[in-house]
Each structure stands twice: as C-alpha cells, then as structure tokens.
Amino acid sequence: MKLINIKTIPWTLLNLFFGIVVSIVLLGFWYSSSIEKQFKNDAKKQVMSIGDLKVQQITSWLNERKADARVLSGNKNNIKNFNDFLKMGKDKTKLLEMFRLYCENYDYASISLIDTSGKIKLSYGGREDSLSQLDALQIQHFIAEPTLEFSELHISVFTEDVTQDLFVPLLEQINDTTELLGIVLIRIDPYRMLYPLIQNWPTESKTGETLLLKKEDSEVVFLNELRHKSNTALKFKLPLNKADAIYHKATNGEEGVFEGEDYRGVQVLASVRKIPGTSWVMVSKIDSEEIDQPLQEQAKIVWIIVILLVVISGITIGIYWRHQRSKYYENLLKLENENKALSKHVEHIVKYANDIIILFDDQLSVIEVNDQACSTYGYTKEEFLKMNASDLRPLRFREELKKIFSEYEDGKGRIYETTHIKKDGTEFPVEVSGRLFKIEIGKYYQTIIRDISERKTAEDALMGLSLRNEALLASVPDIIMEVDNNKIYTWANKAGYDYFGNEVIGKSADYYFEGEQDVYNMVQPLFDGNENIIYVESWQRRHDGEIRLLAWWCRVLKNEEGIAIGALSTARDITIWKQTEEILRTSEGKYRSLVESMTEGMALHEVIYDDKGQAIDYRIEDVNPAFEKHIGIPIEKAKGALASELYGVSYAPFLNEYAKVAESGVPYSFQIYFPPLLKHFEISVFSPEKGWFATVFTDITDKKRMEEAIERRIIALTNPVDSTEDLKFEDLFNLNEIQNIQDAFAKATGVASIITDIEGKPLTKPSQFCDLCENIIRKTEKGLANCIRSDAVLGKTTLDGPNIQHCLSGGLWDGGASIKAGEKHIANWLIGQIYDESADKESMRKYADEIGADKEEFSLALDKVTRMPKEQFENVCDSLFLFAQKLSDMALQNVQQARLITKQKLADEEIRTLNQELEERVIKRTEQLEASNKELEAFSYSVSHDLRSPLRALDGFARILMDEYSTNLDEEGTRLLNVIIDNSQIMGNLIDDLLAFSRISRQEMQSHPIDMFKMVNSVFTELNQFYIGKNIVFNLQEIPNINGDSSMIRQVWINLISNALKFSSTKEEQVIAVGCMVKEDENIYFVKDNGVGFNMEYSNKLFGVFQRLHSMKDFEGTGVGLALVQRIINRHKGRVWGEGKLKEGATFYFSIKDKESQYASDKNS
C-alpha cells in the first residue's frame, strides 16, 4: 500500500493556496483597472459629445438670429417703410408694430432704429437714449463698415444688464450703388435664451455643467451664470496663473478633453471647444468625483468577489487537507493491521517451517529455534538455548566454524554444505543458509538449515547414470568409436564391436582401411583444432573380411585446456546406398542406349529467340541413330545445326508448334506431311525444360499410303450397287485373305483353284495348279487364251448350283461358281484340273499339238494330274458353290457397310460445312453489326458536333440582332426573332436528348445494389424545386431494392417523376404516388399522378422516340423521355407500360426481376 507522507505543515497545499490567492488578487486588479479604463473612456466620450452638442446648438442659435435679421433687412417692403420713415417720418406706427412682433416672437429685449448719424430714431422695448457711449462708438464703427454682426456680450451702462447686440444694416439699392439708410439694433437678453441653452445638461448629472468663457488681458472672464456660483456673468474673473486649470488651457486656445481643476478648484473632466465666429470658448465639464463614483462601486463588488473566491479556495483546500489526513490515518491503521498479520504469519512460518531456523547471538549462542529444529536434532527448545553453534557439528567440523561466521561480517548471505550431528549422535548432511543482521540491540546470526540427506542420496544415484549413458550408446545401431590422439581405438559401442570384432580396442584405425585411402589427412583438421566435426567416407574391412563403405561423422574430443585428445566418431554402413547410386548412374546410360536403339527417330532441340523474345529458329542439339534412318541426314551433320539451314528452308519446320511446347511444357502430337523429305511423319513433342523440346517421330509414309488405298476402296464402294456400275472384287475384299481361303480350300480338296474377274483374268495366284495347266498349256499363247475363255464360261452366273464342264483348253474337268455383289457379277471362283477315267486321252494329245506344246511333256504332265472320280469332284463343286454364295453375301454386306459409312461421312461433312457456313455467317453478321455500330457512333458524333454548331450560330446571331439592333425592329420583328431563338433552343434540346438516347444503348452497364427508396426521394427533392409554390402531395411507399445500373435507373425515375409533375401541373393539388408491387419473381414499380392523363387508344405511341401526346403549347418536351425509359428497362431485362385516362391521370409501370431471380437468370445465361 502506498502511504503518502503527511507532514505536520502541508507546504504543498499552502503553496497552492497562496498561488491561488495571488492569482485571484491579480485577476481582480486587472479586471478593475480594465473597467476603470473603460469607464474613463466612456466619460470622456460623453463629455466630448455633450461639448459637441452644445457648440452646435450655440452656433445654430447664433445663425438663427442672423437669419431673423436678414428677414428684417432683406424685405423690399421693409426697406421702403424704413426709408419713408427716416426720410419723411411716415409709417412710424407701422414700424413700431413690426418691431413689437419681432420682439415678442423671438424674445428679443428691444429693437431700435438708428439713422446714419447714429441717433436712435425709433425703439421698441428699450429706451431711446439707451445707447451707451460704447454703443455709440460701435455704431459709428458699424456705419463706416455696414455688415450684419453681433456685438460682444457686455453690461449695459444704463440697465446694468448683460446684453448682446445684433447690428443690422438697412441697405437700399439705387441703380448700381448701395446706400446705407440706417441700422436696426436688436438687443438680446442672454438670460432669456443663451444662458438656458448653455446651462441645460442633457443627462442626469449632479455636477455636469457647460460654461462660456473668454480671455481678457491676463484674466479669464466667465460669460454666463455658473452652476456652482451665482452672479457671475461677465463679473466673475480669474487670473491666469494656474497652468493646469481647465480655464487656463481653454484660454490658451487648446481644444479637446482634459482633466484638471475648474474655477472652484475641484478636479473635473472637461471638453474644451471654441465656438466658431466668436471669441468664446466653451467648456463642458463634469466632476471627476461623479465619474469615479460608479467605478468605485464596481470596484467594491470586484473586491468582494475576490475575497469570496479566496475564502472558498481556502475552505476547499482545507477540506481536501482534512480528507488527506483522515485517509492517511486510515491507511496507517490498515498498515498496522497488515503488519500485525504479517508478523503473525512470519511467526507461524518460523514455527512450522520445513527448514530448521536457528538464531545465534554474537557469541554464537543459540537464542531462538523453531519446532523443526527441535524435531530434527532431538533437543528441546530449553536445551537448545543453552547450546552453542559448535555443538551442532561433529567434532571434526568444529574448527572451521569461526572462519565461516567471521565471513558473515560483510553483510552478505552465504550458502554452504556441511555435516551436523543430532542429539543421538547421528550425523547428517545439511545445507546452511546464513546471514548476519544488526539491529539496535546487537548482532545476530540467522541460519536456515536444511536436511539434505535425501538430495545426497539422489546425487549418488545420478553418479550411476554415466553407466546408463554407456548402455545407451551401446544400444545405438550406428557404430560409435573413440580414438585417441594417435588414432588408436580406445572405446567402441556394441555396433563397433560387431563390425570390427572384439579385438578392436588398442588397434590403429588404419588397420581396417582397405586400399589406398586418404582418410587420415581428411580428418587431420580435427586434431589440429581447426574443425569440430568432419564427414568422411571410407572403405573398411569388416571382422568377417567383407569390405564395406562406412560414412563417418567424426567429432573432436578436447581436454579442459581445449587441446584435442582424440575423436568420437559415429559410422554407418552406406555400401547399399552407394550401390543404388551406382545403379542409378548406369540407368541413365541404359536410357541412352534405349534411345539409341529405338526405331523412332528422336531429336533434342533448343529454341532460338530474337531480341523481342520471339522464336525464330531451333537448333538440333542431339539425335539418335534412327533419326538418320528416317530423315536421311547423317548424325554428325544434324548435331548443332540450325533447323532452317539443315532442311534448306527459310522458316524452320513446325516452329510455331514446337515453340509453344517449349514455352508451355504441354506435350503435343501431330501427323504431318513434310515436304522437304516428301514424307509423312507422326511427331510427338515434349519439353524437358523451358526453351527446349524433344521430338519423337516415326515415318508413317507407308502407313499413310495404305490408308489412302483403303480410302480409295471405300470411295469405290460408295456407288450404288447395280449391274452397270464399276464394282470390282478386289475393292470389296482383302485379296490376301481371299488368297488364304482359296489356298486352304485347294489344299483340303486337292483340286486346283483360282479366282478370276468376269473376263477370266486371274485376281488371285493359282493354288494347287497342275504342271499341265500351269507350266505347259498356260505357257502357250493359244492355251492361255483358251484357258481364260473357258474360265469365263465356267463362271457364268447360275443360281441353283456350280457349273461343271470339261475345260475348253485341255479337256480336264473344271468347275466354277460366280461371285456377285447384289446383282453385279464381280468374279468367278474356279476349281478343277481333275482327270477321270472318262476323259479322252487321244483328243487331249491332239490339243497339245494344236496349241503347240511338247507332246512328251504334255503326256508326262497329264499323268501327274490329280485323278478323282467325277462324283467326288461334283461334291467339291457343290461346296465351292456354297462358298461362292457366301462370298457374294459378304460382298453385298461390304458394299452396304461402305455405303453406310459414306452416308455417315457425307452427313458429317455436310454438318461440318453447315457449321462452317454458319460460323462464317455469324462472323460476317458480327462484322456488319460492328461496322454499323461504328457508323452509328460516327453519326452521333457528327450530330453532336456538327448539328450544334449551326444552331449556336442561329441562336447567337439572332440574339446579337436583338441586343444591338432592337431599336430598328418593330414588335413583330422582335417576336419573329424570338421564334428563331426559341426554336434553336428546342432543336438543341432535341439533339441532346437524342444523343442521350443513343448513348444509353451503347453505354456499358454496371450492376450494383440500388437503394430505391433513397433514390426516389432524392430525385423527387431535386425535381420539386422547379415547382416551388405548388401544392404537391408526394406519396412514397417503402419500395424494395434492386440490382442494376444506378445512373440509368436514376434516369428512369427522373423521367417518370418529372413527367408526373409536368402533366399534373395544371391541377390545384398535384398528387404523385410512387410504389411497388412485389410479384413472384419480379418487382413492378409505378409512378402515378392525377394529371391530364392520356387516351389509352394512343398508348402504343407512348414509348416511341419523338412521339408526343400533347402539344408543345400545353406541355414542353422533346418526346424522348419515355423512349429512354423503355430502352433502359429493356436493357435491364424488364418491361415498361403505362395506363391512363384522359383528364384523370396516368400511371407508368416498370418491372425488374428481383435480385435473386435476376441472379438466377444471370447464372442460367
């Protein structure tokens, strides 16, 4: 717990308090001084403005008087009256009446008329002799220079009143000269008018006063009656000997606001001003005391607040201090309690601790032990207290005790092990932790003693562990050997003994080396101390004499000084691995030989690239012998050559395909005709690494030719089967197979056999032919022709059985059966050359003559001819007939099969052609579409640019005409110009709308979630500002959101809502409703208004471009808005429609699939 130290005097708090007091006081000072300044300023301003007011009032009063006088003297009638009176004594009463009126109206004291000689001729309100000497002098002076002017304030000699005179010259204009007729003297009593004017103080003030004064020689004369002194006008004078008195400054010509003494000697604030046109100075003043009074009150309040603040802060800090103190004591109490608990705790620990705790004094006598000590040593506590530290040790350990205790003097604790003795004399090992501590009363040694008998036992057990280590090493399957510095084996584990035999210890390591090995040199760095671990492989003799390869990990052994004293090495028999490695190495050679011996050609190539990474050629890096066989180019010539050079072509063959494989690593196979060699190849390409490829190829030229032959056969078989067509046996059957059948038949039956075409020309090789026919008759020209003729006859078609007859050439028995494909006779299978007893030998000999054969040979051969009874031959012929019929069936089947295949092929071909055509048509159509799109784009671009330009000219020049030549135009002309301007605007709008319309179709659509409610609200707010002042009710329901192009959908809302607003604008109250009907898979949004509506008859025109249902005069518009809406909604795969009734309103709907189903349809598409 943190305990804040509480001092008796809380200096920090006191300092804080003083700081607060000083700052509050300073604040008070600052505040009151700033108030004072402001007050002074205000007073100055007040005095100054009062001074200004007074000066203005006095000046204007003087001017008024002068104006009165001018009225009197400027009136021609008056002048005439004065003239008449002065020259002829007429009109006296009239003039007196006039004077009286003046006096009474303007409150003058008197008005007198004085002639040019200075005598009073007429007077009202004054005495006629009242002109004093001074007056007379002034009059004389005035007559000499007649101007309208005031006299000074002075005391009349006669009346002893303060007066002021106004001299008014009466001037008569005679021709060009002005003549003075006389003077009117207006006498003014200042008590009546001037003094009240001066004395009046415009605000409520106890001391405020305005006074007039003037300098007279070395004195100042006060001209009016003063507030604080009576009977002063012109009588009260003060000497000018006080420089800072206000009146002194005033008479010195200074103007402004001053502070100083006034005539009473009282401190005042005064504004001093000269009165223009007079020698008067005006002083407006107020006593400083009066000004200061409210200030002092204010100051009083400020200081009261200051004192209050000081008191409050003092109390606050006091309370805080008390709180701190009480908290401190609380904490103190808590700490004390904790301490108590702690000491109890410690006591408890000491008493019941597992360790022995003994306290010694500086004489090493025991002064305290715990229970554990008693129970361990077997002494009672009382016994302990009589004992000394040395009593706890066996005799032999007592000597060192003093030394140990003296070491404690440095204040550090020590831990050591020793042996103690119990009361019963048993010794036991202990660990002692001791420490010296000094307190006021003296030195104490505290020891904590632990019985470590068990630990010792455990340690002893640990000693036995090294044996276990050895056992562990022994059980490792790897060989572990230890050598000393001289490479003599000093230790081996079981595996080591197993390998090297039991006598290995003491043998030099090289004793087991086989062959010349450099192992010693390799491991030398270990013994030099340069390496810690070294790996070597070496061949070593096993105890049974076998030589194995061992892999050694040798680790150096070092003594305490870090010098190598031997090595510990583990070894593993790696002979089998080595052998496997060897096998692997040889297997590569085997593959090599495989490649060498295979019949397919094989070649390895590297692709050659240009600077831009484009494949331009490939180099043949390696080829196998078969390459030479297939390609016919020697290996030496091929290796390292560039493909283009090797094959003598400008572009390396199949470079594209090969480069692709070398790049992608994807294998590829193809068949191709290779023109440079006039051969067909089947080529497989694969890439062993990037930029390389290998080809395996076979010469398939023969195979190709065979395939072509088969192809030809099939083509031949595709024609319809009837007797006129050119069907051949050899096209329908594989002649080799037929030959085999024929040979087998001949062998089995012993009759000769051959298959011929229908003209008798052989199609197969003869089998079992007799010498007579083959080598004698057929060797003669006549004989051969007869044979063929006979064969042809033999093959004549019969349905019921074979033809059997004597040979037309030679007369032996022959048989035959025809082979047909459908109705077409295509071949004959002939057998025969059978001699039976019924044959006419003589005629046969004659035949030999006939064909020019050797008679002798003929006879001999005839004897060798197969003899068979006729019945047997007939049986053979019957079976032949069956065979032939079967062949006929097969022929027909073959034909039909071929036809089917052909049909299929044709159909395939047709489909392919159709597909290709279709594809071409699609491509062509796409191209056309693209072209027309481009055209459209170019069109709208030029519309945008070129159509606007002349419009601007139209509008611009029409306006210029209007601005600058309107004076030359009559009303009709102006109207016509306006028509031009309006129409060019309309045209401009049309173009803009049209462009927007076409842009919508071209624009790419984005799809995002749209907050429809928010969008509609913002659109309406935006549009509503064009209808301010209208009574519009807008009903917007909660409407669902949608995915779509937000700028397009916004355009839809703008167009629909602005239409609704526009077409309902004629109504008193416009009602617009926006809502949505949620259907199964689509949302139908609508905008409804109560406007002019439309006739459903024309609903089909609603969405056409430039289609309008209202005249321009009624409603403006271009007729593009709804078309745009339709286009946008169509692009969103939705529908749009409108419903309306004339004069009752219209509702426009658009549907959009809701998010999920839209998503689904997207997925399907």
Rounded least distance, CB 1005 to another protein, Å = 15
Which of 563, 960, 976, 979 contacts another protein by CB under 8 A? 960
Which residue stretch of 147-155, 606-614, 843-851, 983-991 sits at the interface with another protein (rule: CB under 8 A)?
983-991
Rounded least distance, CB 1128 to another protein, Å = 17
Which CB, 642 or 943, lies closer to another protein? 943
Which CB, 8 or 949, lies closer to another protein? 949
Which residue stretch of 169-177, 428-436, 558-566, 987-995 sits at the interface with another protein (rule: CB under 8 A)?
987-995
Rounded least distance, CB 983 to another protein, Å = 11
Q: Does 961 bind another protein (CB under 8 A)?
A: no
What residues are paired with 284 via a beta bridge? 210, 271
Which of 215, 274, 548, 948 contacts another protein by CB under 8 A? 948
Using CB under 8 A as the criterion, what x/- string covers residues 39-78 for binding another protein? ----------------------------------------
8 A C-beta contact, residue 1030 and residue 1055: no
Q: Does 955 bind another protein (CB under 8 A)?
A: yes
Separation of alpha carbons 879 and 887, rounded Å: 12
State how beta strands 564-573 and 547-558 pair: antiparallel
State how beta strands 752-756 and 824-834 pair: antiparallel
Cβ-based neighbour number of residue 467 at 10 Å: 9
Which CB, 719 or 944, lies closer to another protein? 944
Q: Does 946 bind another protein (CB under 8 A)?
A: yes
State how beta strands 219-222 and 547-558 pair: unpaired
Which of 900, 953, 1033, 1160 contacts another protein by CB under 8 A? 953
Q: Does 985 bind another protein (CB under 8 A)?
A: yes
Q: Does 353 bind another protein (CB under 8 A)?
A: no
Which residue stretch of 585-593, 777-785, 944-952, 1013-1021 sits at the interface with another protein (rule: CB under 8 A)?
944-952
8 A C-beta contact, residue 1084 and residue 1150: yes
Q: Which two tokens stand for residue 532?
A: 């810690």
Rounded least distance, CB 997 to another protein, Å = 13
Segment (H or E) for 1138: strand 1135-1141
Residue 540: φ, ψ to 5°: -135, 150
Separation of alpha carbons 428 and 377, rounded Å: 10
Which residue stretch of 336-344, 481-489, 534-542, 951-959 sits at the interface with another protein (rule: CB under 8 A)?
951-959
Amino acid at 63: N
1049 closest CA partner among 1083, 1002, 1003, 1015? 1015
Rounded least distance, CB 1062 to another protein, Å = 21
Which CB, 262 or 955, lies closer to another protein? 955
End-to-end CA distance of the chain: 76
Which CB, 866 or 984, lies closer to another protein? 984
Q: In what order do the strands lie in the sheet with 356-361?
A: 366-369, 356-361, 442-451, 427-439, 414-421
Which of 215, 541, 555, 959 contacts another protein by CB under 8 A? 959
Q: Does 995 bind another protein (CB under 8 A)?
A: yes
Which CB, 964 or 1097, lies closer to another protein? 964
Which CB, 838 or 949, lies closer to another protein? 949
Q: Does 655 bind another protein (CB under 8 A)?
A: no
Q: Does 979 bind another protein (CB under 8 A)?
A: no
Which CB, 612 or 945, lies closer to another protein? 945
Rounded least distance, CB 958 to another protein, Å = 8
Q: Does 1004 bind another protein (CB under 8 A)?
A: no
Q: How would you class 10 by CB atoms within 10 Å of its CB: exposed for 0-12, middle for 13-18, buried for 19 or more?
A: middle
8 A C-beta contact, residue 1008 and residue 1155: no
Max intra-chain CA distance, the chain: 223
16 closest CA partner among 306, 322, 304, 320? 320
Which CB, 714 or 980, lies closer to another protein? 980
8 A C-beta contact, residue 1013 and residue 1096: no
8 A C-beta contact, residue 1134 and residue 1084: no
Which CB, 808 or 947, lies closer to another protein? 947
Separation of alpha carbons 42 and 257, rounded Å: 12
511: DSSP letter: G
Which CB, 540 or 984, lies closer to another protein? 984
Which CB, 546 or 982, lies closer to another protein? 982
Using CB under 8 A as the criterion, what x/- string covers residues 308-347 for binding another protein? ----------------------------------------
Amino acid at 65: R
Separation of alpha carbons 898 and 714, rounded Å: 6
Q: Does 1047 bind another protein (CB under 8 A)?
A: no
Which of 437, 577, 673, 941 contacts another protein by CB under 8 A? 941
83: DSSP letter: H
* Interior angle at CA 500, CA 495 and CA 501, nearest 5: 90
Rounded least distance, CB 1048 to another protein, Å = 15
For tokens 């913002």, the residue is 1018
Which CB, 923 or 936, lies closer to another protein? 936
Residues from 872 through 911 that contact another protein (CB under 8 A): none
Separation of alpha carbons 981 and 994, rounded Å: 20
Q: Does 294 bind another protein (CB under 8 A)?
A: no
Which residue stretch of 181-189, 241-249, 946-954, 1047-1055 sits at the interface with another protein (rule: CB under 8 A)?
946-954
Rounded least distance, CB 935 to another protein, Å = 15
- Summary count for the chain: helices (H), strands (E): 33, 38
Q: Does 1099 bind another protein (CB under 8 A)?
A: no
8 A C-beta contact, residue 114 and residue 134: no
Which CB, 319 or 1005, lies closer to another protein? 1005
Radius of gyration in angstroms for the set of CA atoms belonging to the chain, rounded to a whole number: 73
Residue 809 three-state SS: coil
Which residue stretch of 44-52, 72-80, 850-858, 941-949 sits at the interface with another protein (rule: CB under 8 A)?
941-949
Q: Which two tokens stand for residue 522?
A: 């390799």
Which CB, 352 or 965, lies closer to another protein? 965
Separation of alpha carbons 523 and 555, rounded Å: 10
Which residue stretch of 360-368, 614-622, 980-988, 1153-1161 sits at the interface with another protein (rule: CB under 8 A)?
980-988
Segment (H or E) for 1030: none
Q: Does 987 bind another protein (CB under 8 A)?
A: yes
Q: Does 949 bind another protein (CB under 8 A)?
A: yes
Which of 378, 529, 676, 950 contacts another protein by CB under 8 A? 950
What is the DSSP code string of 403-469? Answer: HHHHHGGGS--EEEEEEEE-TTS-EEEEEEEEEEEEETTEEEEEEEEEE-HHHHHHHHHHHTHHHHH
Binding-site size for another protein (CB under 8 A) equals: 22
Rounded least distance, CB 951 to another protein, Å = 5
Separation of alpha carbons 895 and 727, rounded Å: 9
Q: Does 160 bind another protein (CB under 8 A)?
A: no
Which CB, 707 or 982, lies closer to another protein? 982
Rounded least distance, CB 1047 to another protein, Å = 12
Amino acid at 1138: G
Q: Which residues bind another protein (CB under 8 A)?
A: 941, 944-946, 948-953, 955-960, 984-985, 987-988, 992, 995
